[in-house]
Amino acid sequence: MEILNNNIEKLCSFYVSDWHLVTMLLPYINKEINENANIITILENNIEENIKTLIKKLNLKNEQKILNINWRNTNGLKYSEIQKELKKLNKQESLNVVFINGSKNYIDIANKNIEKFLKENSKNYKEIKVKIIDCFEVGEFNVNIKEILDAHDKILNTSGEKEINEVFEGYAKNA
């Protein structure tokens, strides 16, 4: 992402099923909401029922706020849909966390649309803090994991945010 590099952090995450994704995301989202983060989702797959089912079983402080997040699929391939979601970005001091999940192609197009939106609206969103978390389904890729890791700053897994080389021993960015 070339615009606003100092204010944008990119994380990647890998999951094996929608249940695995939801199990990984809920504690992280709960923590971010506790720190007043604004959560936006751009999802290829509808995970709303999984969220509702799991949230009933957990005792989370921010249950209603989590349920109010859009967990339905978004047509991230259409710029107008991305634009509609990104207009929810909080221009204040708090962090904006944008979760993107789906195929590598879907995630790539969604990121291009986010970059286009931020460039077109750079005056309005110049100082905002954004954390983009690209969630890749493991079955979707094989050979390009290094390419995915190189395009991100950190990784999110079930134990939270980690440096990539903590999770992938011996990894060196762009090596």
Domain count within the chain: 1
Contacts of 113 (CB under 8 A, 6+ apart): 76, 79, 82, 83
More confident of the two residues 78 and 12: 12
Across the chain, what does the average pLDDT equal? 87
More confident of the two residues 44 and 143: 44
127 belongs to a structural domain: yes
Whole-number pLDDT of residue 126: 74
- Please compute the mean of the pLDDT values over residues 6-32 and round it to a whole number: 92
158 belongs to a structural domain: yes
68 belongs to a structural domain: yes
CB 12 within 8 A of CB 141: no
First to last CA, the chain: 19
Question: Which of 62-71, 73-82, 100-109 has the least mean pLDDT?
Answer: 73-82
Question: Which of 59-68, 83-92, 152-161 has the least mean pLDDT?
Answer: 83-92
Here the CATH number for the domain that contains residue 89 is 3.40.50
Type of residue at 89: L
**Which pTM value belongs to this model?**
0.90
